[in-house]
Amino acid sequence: MPPINRQVLLKSRPAGIPQAENFELAEAAIPEPGDKQFLVRNEFLSVEPAMRGWVSAVANYATPVGIGEVMRSFTAGTVVKSRHPGFAEGDKVMGMLGWQDYAVSDGSNITRKVMETGLPLSLSLGVLGLNGVTAYFGLLDLGMPRPGDTVVVSTAAGSVGSAVGQIAKLMGCRTIGITGGATKVKLCTDAFGYDTAIDYKSGDLDAALKAACPRGVDVYFDNTAGAISDAVIKQIATGARIVICGTASLSSWDPWPMGPRVERHILVKRARMSGLLIFDYAHRYEEAVGRLAQWIRDGKLAYREDIVDGIEHAPGAIAELYRGENLGKRLIRLSSE
Amino acid sequence: MPPINRQVLLKSRPAGIPQAENFELAEAAIPEPGDKQFLVRNEFLSVEPAMRGWVSAVANYATPVGIGEVMRSFTAGTVVKSRHPGFAEGDKVMGMLGWQDYAVSDGSNITRKVMETGLPLSLSLGVLGLNGVTAYFGLLDLGMPRPGDTVVVSTAAGSVGSAVGQIAKLMGCRTIGITGGATKVKLCTDAFGYDTAIDYKSGDLDAALKAACPRGVDVYFDNTAGAISDAVIKQIATGARIVICGTASLSSWDPWPMGPRVERHILVKRARMSGLLIFDYAHRYEEAVGRLAQWIRDGKLAYREDIVDGIEHAPGAIAELYRGENLGKRLIRLSSE
């Protein structure tokens, strides 16, 4: 086990996408758990688009990470010392323990104990973590797909999008994935079962969408906002459901970015646009994780991980995500030496 | 009764708001009803913002009115001759009979028989017509107000908005009306019972909204889109419902107008934006009309009419509506001579 606690601290507040230089590596003593506390050794650190919001000073759903504080992050690890009656040494946990080797917890920042047998711990940060759970509730509760619906997913090969596409297929929908580049297009059709995959970086997105969705788009699961959404909204069918899950394509919200106005499309098509924040579904995580884990065991739900070794890769990892460099859920694996 | 059938025909397709010169007056013979048909003499012609869409060639929910055709319009009138078993001479009807003195119908373009006793026929085109029914279903079915909610209404003194504000008050909500000019502000508070009325033409709308909605906006009933909506969406509360009912402030949808992107607000506030098209509620009109009529009889629902005499005023009436010149539901009353 590492003899010190390596940490990634927020050094400066980014304007837009957080870059490596907004963070710094630091070392601290391994903390001691007090009464009703326990010590977790993190094995995997998560990297996700939402981190942009967590370090932004712009009004948001979460208090921003303070300058000099450990970067907020989901992590998965093992309880290595416990003075808490509910957590025993050896328990696997997933929670908001930050970009660091060790964290002391009283349980309040633990999202869940990881109980899935026979599946890697890393999945608790991806397809069995917030990504899969987001796909599950966003698609089923807000998207309300029906068999025969045409479902369009942006960042279709990503860790949320790939699960959305596959769950929509399980529901009997036609799935159209929008992604960037030939490699991800191939991943969409070969690994994630999309009926059609569209490369937004090549050719005419409007024409490709029109050809793929002759009866219009019934459900649009949106991870990007921006130009991709503008193209999709032109093709929505009457009664369409638009799930706003992320805004990856927009680099800043200050100043407020401009785009084509959606009101007329929403009105004429009697569509519904809903925002999803997965923390609202915390009380139902186990429902989703149970289903998702079973689909994985049954070979019905594929996933990809893109694991990088060493905490020194964390500072640049958010920017890499926004550049679309990863193929699969980006995780940082911490050295066990 | 008029000895000929005066009609208003669409002469040219407007770019944006329809102007008087886009129409022409014409005269035709009074048509004879055939078997299973009846003749209606129109007494009131409606004028409404949606007419812009009906004459536009831009994709819409309705086939555009053809050049040379009678302008599409709701009207209220009396059956004066009938060869139809379901309609008798003397029946009062409301339907899509166009800007003209007379129309033959087989019943398919009749919205409903007007049965409300003791109330003026003209109300069937306003507070007991599509305007009131739109307010009823838009607010209750899509806005889903709860007692204590803060409800903001744009074009708050208009024929839809004024009913929305009053129904929201009946539900125990705090109501904030946005309107233009001192006369309409006074109408909002004195006639329609808004807790606060804001004049968007004077002063700082952002500041006025912030002061009026200290806990944010729970329901926004939107008749305008544009700059007013941009100000309101900045103030929405978590879980807000935005009802898109009209887009009066935007003069054209071709080219697609730009504005601040809504996605981040929808996401962060887990809000829902829904489009309303009242024709989807046709099977439930009587439910709404029955309630609305009772509220009027009980003195709980105030309305304003702005009636102009003579079909020659119809051509310019849509543009007047968009300039906000009317105080109350704008109707054209046809001469009975």
pLDDT tens, A186-202? Answer: 999 999 999 999 999 99
Burial class from Cβ neighbours inside 10 Å (0-12, 13-18, 19+) for residue A101 reads buried
Which residue out of B56, B264, B269 would a mutagenesis test of the A interface target, given it has the greatest number of A Cβ atoms within 10 Å? B264
With CA atoms as reference, the chain A residue closest to B226 would be A261
Give the model confidence (pLDDT) of A12-30 as tens digits. Answer: 999 889 999 999 999 999 9
Reported as a pLDDT band with limits 50, 70 and 90, residue A173 is very high
Q: Who's near A186: CB < 8 A, 6+ residues apart?
A: A197
pLDDT mean over B282-303: 96
pLDDT at A60: 64
Reported as a pLDDT band with limits 50, 70 and 90, residue B92 is very high
Asked if residue A254 belongs to a domain, the reply is yes
- Res. A252: pLDDT tops 80: no
Asked if residue A59 belongs to a domain, the reply is yes
Mark whether B141 and B227 lie in a shared domain: yes
- Res. A59: pLDDT tops 80: no
Domain limits at B224? 130-279
Q: Is B258 on the interface with A (CB under 8 A)?
A: yes
Q: How many domains does chain A have?
A: 2
Taking a C-beta distance cutoff of 8 angstroms, is the pair A249, A225 a contact? yes
Give the model confidence (pLDDT) of B159-217 as tens digits. Answer: 999 999 999 999 999 999 999 999 999 999 999 999 999 999 998 999 999 999 999 99
Q: Is B254 on the interface with A (CB under 8 A)?
A: no
pLDDT mean over B32-47: 97
Tokens of B114: 């007007």
Collect all residues of chain B within an 8 Å Cβ-Cβ radius of residue A267.
Answer: 244-247, 275-277
ipTM reported for the complex, 2 dp? 0.86
Mark whether A119 and A135 lie in a shared domain: no
Q: CA of A112, closest CA in chain B: separation in Å?
A: 23
φ, ψ of residue A299 in degrees (nearest 5): 75, 20
Q: Is B225 on the interface with A (CB under 8 A)?
A: yes
Asked if residue B286 belongs to a domain, the reply is no
DSSP secondary structure, A169-225, as one string: HHTT-EEEEEESSHHHHHHHHHTS--SEEEETTSS-HHHHHHHH-TT-EEEEEESS-
Distance CA A313, CA A20 (A): 9
Mark whether B178 and B118 lie in a shared domain: no
**A275–B256 CB contact, under 8 Å:** no
Reported as a pLDDT band with limits 50, 70 and 90, residue A107 is very high
- Res. B292: pLDDT tops 70: yes
Collect all residues of chain B within an 8 Å Cβ-Cβ radius of residue A262.
Answer: 262, 273
- Res. A217: pLDDT tops 80: yes
Identity of the residue in A259, A260, A275 whose CB atom sits nearest the CB atom of B267 = A275
Mark whether B122 and B142 lie in a shared domain: no
Collect all residues of chain B within an 8 Å Cβ-Cβ radius of residue A281.
Answer: none
Collect all residues of chain B within an 8 Å Cβ-Cβ radius of residue A275.
Answer: 265-272
CATH number for the domain that contains residue B61: 3.90.180.10
Q: What is the pTM of this model?
A: 0.89
Mark whether A86 and A60 lie in a shared domain: yes
User: A 5-34 residues with CB below 8 A of B?
Assistant: none
- Res. A251: pLDDT tops 80: no
- Res. A329: pLDDT tops 90: yes
Mark whether B260 and B214 lie in a shared domain: yes
CATH number for the domain that contains residue A182: 3.40.50.720
Asked if residue B76 belongs to a domain, the reply is yes
pLDDT at B60: 64
pLDDT mean over B282-291: 95
Identity of the residue in A256, A260, A268 whose CB atom sits nearest the CB atom of B275 = A268
- Res. A337: pLDDT tops 70: no
Chains A–B, number of C-beta pairs less than 8 Å apart: 111
Mark whether A47 and A16 lie in a shared domain: yes
pLDDT mean over B87-105: 97
pLDDT mean over B307-322: 95
Give the model confidence (pLDDT) of B248-257 as tens digits. Answer: 788 777 788 9
Q: CA of A28, closest CA in chain B: separation in Å?
A: 34
Asked if residue B74 belongs to a domain, the reply is yes
Cα–Cα nearest to B88, from B113, B116, B124: B113
Q: Is B52 on the interface with A (CB under 8 A)?
A: no
pLDDT mean over B33-44: 98
pLDDT at B193: 97
> Residue B317 has what DSSP assignment?
H
**B267–A260 CB contact, under 8 Å:** no
- Res. B61: pLDDT tops 80: no
Asked if residue B299 belongs to a domain, the reply is no
Mark whether A87 and A139 lie in a shared domain: no
- Res. B59: pLDDT tops 70: no
**B244–A267 CB contact, under 8 Å:** yes
Q: Who's near B136: CB < 8 A, 6+ residues apart?
A: B163, B167, B288, B291, B292
Asked if residue A185 belongs to a domain, the reply is yes
pLDDT at B253: 77
Asked if residue A295 belongs to a domain, the reply is no
Share of chain A above pLDDT 90, in %: 87
Tokens 């696997």 locate to A92
Collect all residues of chain B within an 8 Å Cβ-Cβ radius of residue A247.
Answer: 263-264, 267
Mark whether B274 and B144 lie in a shared domain: yes
- Res. B153: pLDDT tops 90: yes
Collect all residues of chain A within an 8 Å Cβ-Cβ radius of residue B259.
Answer: 258-261
Tokens of B259: 């504005």
Cα–Cα nearest to B254, from B69, B10, B49, B13: B13
pLDDT at B77: 97
Mark whether B224 and B96 lie in a shared domain: no
Mark whether A115 and A85 lie in a shared domain: yes
User: B 156-215 residues with CB below 8 A of A?
Assistant: none
Reported as a pLDDT band with limits 50, 70 and 90, residue A206 is very high
Q: Is B245 on the interface with A (CB under 8 A)?
A: yes
Q: Are strands A236-244 and A92-95 parallel, antiparallel or unpaired?
A: unpaired
Mark whether B10 and B99 lie in a shared domain: yes
pLDDT at A325: 82
Q: What value does the mean pLDDT of chain A take?
A: 94
Reported as a pLDDT band with limits 50, 70 and 90, residue B241 is very high
